[in-house]
Amino acid sequence: MDEKELAAFLQNYNGRPLRLMEVCGTHTSALYRTGLRQLLSKKITLVSGPGCPVCVTPTAYIDKLVEFAFEPGYRVMTFGDMLAVPGSRMSLAEARDRGGAADFFYAPEEMLKRAAAHPETTYVLATVGFETTAPVWATIIKEAAARDIKNLKFLTALKTMPQALSFLCGQGKIDGFLCPGHVAVITGSEPYSRLAEEFGETMVIGGFSRSLLLRALTRLVLESSRSHTGMWNEYPSVVKPEGNPAARQILDEVFAAGDAAWRGIGVLKGSGLYIKEKYRDWDAGSRGLDEDAVPKGCLCSRIVLGAALPGQCPYFGKGCTPEHPVGACMVSSEGTCCITYREG
């Protein structure tokens, strides 16, 4: 079928009601931007999963960064959207307004040069992401060690997606998953094949253009409506069964798996990546940051599970906006609430 026929199929679908989840925040944005979410049949409910690393970072991690921001001789550096993530007491942006040392970078690689040029300052980097960005962080940690830049520290909140998908599959409330294409480039398609087999789920790996999304969504709706279980790779040009061996090798060299807290979900076994003993001098104390304090009434903890929609949250668009976020889902450009507010 051509794109017009695929779009017509999704728009006119009249089979059994389906509840589908796109896991990746980039997919959430692309589905709005391409107009595909808006054209879906009313028989298809598309919900968003925990695919935004900023959104699932627990408050204890933010609180630790805030502590560093007020520590003499320290400066916290992060991507811009992390500045606004609420902690249990304040965000990094609020800490900065109160005299704390916190700023943003455009590319983490630039911090190697900056730290080397300013040995009097200890820089703490907010090291957040999934498998997509973890190899970049691993490379920077290796380079900092090779150059013996001891005033560059990494507070990690790196997470791996298969464990989160395993948790979601165990809930039994989703008919099919649109799996994250960017993550699958690194991990390969095999982890999703195993999950589909273990839980009897329907999983489709998809790309991000309108054409690729049309094909992935059509496959997902077709197979889910027939209760066919398994994994289909609709992004074969870049996602291979084995993934990216070089990226996985550097991850294995620098990081070790461990339990990690996901904001709104809780602690998932083996879902975190922590700096290995070999590079411990560059670890800012990343383990044990599990406590999470979600504001009373905020539905972020349900939204990241696809159990609630942004519009159902009493704060959405009222007390909670991208300029003044209450919950983490409103902070990032890949957060479900932020995307829905701006594009939905």
**Cα–Cα distance for residue pair 246/16, rounded to 1 Å:** 43
Amino acid (one-letter) located at 299:
L
For residues 289 and 178, what is the distance between their CA atoms, to the nearest angstrom? 30
Task: Give the pLDDT of residue 334.
Answer: 87
DSSP H or E segment with residue 222: helix 210-225
Per-residue HEC secondary structure of 132-166 comes to CCHHHHHHHHHHHHHCCCCCEEEEEEEECHHHHHH
Residue 73, SS3 per DSSP = coil
Pairing mode of beta strands 266-275, 255-262: antiparallel
**Exposure on the CB side of residue 45, measured as CA atoms within 13 A:** 13
Q: Where are the beta strands (DSSP E) in the chain?
A: 18-22, 44-48, 74-78, 102-104, 122-129, 152-159, 176-179, 202-205, 230-233, 255-262, 266-275
Number of Cα atoms under 13 Å in the Cβ half of residue 165: 32
| pTM greater than 0.75 (yes/no) | yes
Q: What is the pLDDT of residue 293?
A: 86
Q: How far is the C-alpha of 183 from the C-alpha of 65, rounded, in Å?
A: 26
* 160: its two tokens: 């791996």
In the prediction, which pLDDT does 240 show?
Answer: 96
Check residue 226 and give its pLDDT.
95
In whole angstroms, give the CA distance from residue 23 to residue 41: 20
Which of these, 249, 248, 290, 299, lies nearest to 269 by C-alpha position?
290
Rounded-to-10 torsion of CA 62, 49, 106, 76: 10
What the block records as the tokens of 108 is 């983490």
Q: d(Cα 29, Cα 340) in Å, to the nearest integer?
A: 8
Residue-level pLDDT at 295: 84
Look up residue 293 and give its two tokens: 């304090």
pLDDT of 343 = 84
CA distances from 90 to 48, 82, 268 (A): 27, 12, 25
Q: Pairing between strand 202-205 and 230-233? A: parallel
Q: Yes or no: say if 312 and 336 are a contact pair by the CB < 8 Å rule.
A: no
Write out pLDDT tens, residues 247-269: 999 999 999 999 999 988 899 99
| β-strand pairing of 202-205 with 176-179 | parallel
User: Which residues of the chain carry a pLDDT beneath 70?
Assistant: 344
Q: 322: Cβ–Cβ under 8 A, 6 or more apart, which residues?
A: 330, 331, 338, 341, 342
Q: Rounded to the nearest 10 degrees, what angle do helices 210-225 and 25-33 cross at?
A: 110
DSSP notation for 8-25: HHHHH--SS-EEEEE--H
